């Protein structure tokens, strides 16, 4: 019984410790993170959702809106509501080159199905981008 008690006690301590590490990820993105981020040029796949999901940042509607608005401002496009209520990009077309932020500083972003890495990092991917 004492052994079971020790196991449960250790498990609860490790469980609390792992939960505490997740609080950092619940932070809201800020404009400063976008101004200090490295922006990577990538082929535009028609959406930026995969780019947002490719960053190691907290997932929330507020962060998604900040991400969408910052990418739109940087690239000069706008959003429009479609008939089904989804936000769609206007003024930017597939196969264009888009700038995407590397907020988590991993030196890569995701554009559609492709991972785009900076030239500073050795890569085996099909598209290597210059950063600015």
Distance CA 101, CA 52 (A): 9
Q: What is the mean pLDDT of residues 112-127?
A: 67
Q: What is the mean pLDDT of residues 39-55?
A: 94
Q: What is the mean pLDDT of residues 37-57?
A: 94
Assess if residue 21 is contained within a domain: no
Residue 96, domain extent = 29-129
Residue 49 has pLDDT above 90, yes or no: yes
Which residues are CB-neighbours of 80 under 8 A, at least 6 positions away? 87, 88, 90
Distance CA 32, CA 110 (A): 21
**Looking at residue 123, what is its pLDDT?**
46
Q: Quickly count: other Cβ atoms within 10 Å of residue 113's Cβ.
A: 7
Higher-pLDDT residue of 97 and 18 is 97
Assess if residue 22 is contained within a domain: no
Higher-pLDDT residue of 6 and 56 is 56
HSE at residue 23, side-chain half, CA atoms within 13 A, is 4
Distance CA 44, CA 71 (A): 12
Assess if residue 10 is contained within a domain: no
Assess if residue 12 is contained within a domain: no
Q: How far is CA 33 from the centre of its chain?
A: 12
Assess if residue 59 is contained within a domain: yes
Q: What is the mean pLDDT of residues 56-85?
A: 94
Q: How many domains does the chain have?
A: 1
Assess if residue 1 is contained within a domain: no
> How are beta strands 97-102 and 108-111 bridged, if at all?
unpaired
Residue 75 has pLDDT above 50, yes or no: yes
Mean pLDDT, the chain, whole residue set: 81
Among 68-72, 92-96, 117-121, the range with the most confident prediction by mean pLDDT is: 68-72
Which pTM was predicted? 0.70
């Amino acid at each position: 019984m004492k052994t079971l008690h020790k196991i449960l006690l250790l498990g609860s301590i490790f469980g609390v410790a792992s939960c505490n590490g997740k609080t950092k990820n619940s932070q809201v993105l800020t404009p400063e993170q976008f101004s200090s981020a490295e922006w990577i040029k990538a082929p535009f796949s028609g959406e930026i959702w995969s780019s947002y999901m490719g960053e190691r940042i907290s997932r929330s509607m507020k962060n998604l809106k900040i991400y969408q608005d910052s990418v739109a401002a940087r690239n000069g496009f706008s959003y429009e509501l479609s008939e089904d209520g989804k936000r769609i990009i206007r003024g930017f077309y597939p196969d264009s080159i888009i700038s995407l932020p590397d907020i988590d500083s991993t030196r890569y972003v995701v554009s559609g199905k492709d991972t785009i890495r900076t030239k500073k990092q050795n890569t085996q991917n099909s598209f290597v981008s210059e950063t600015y």
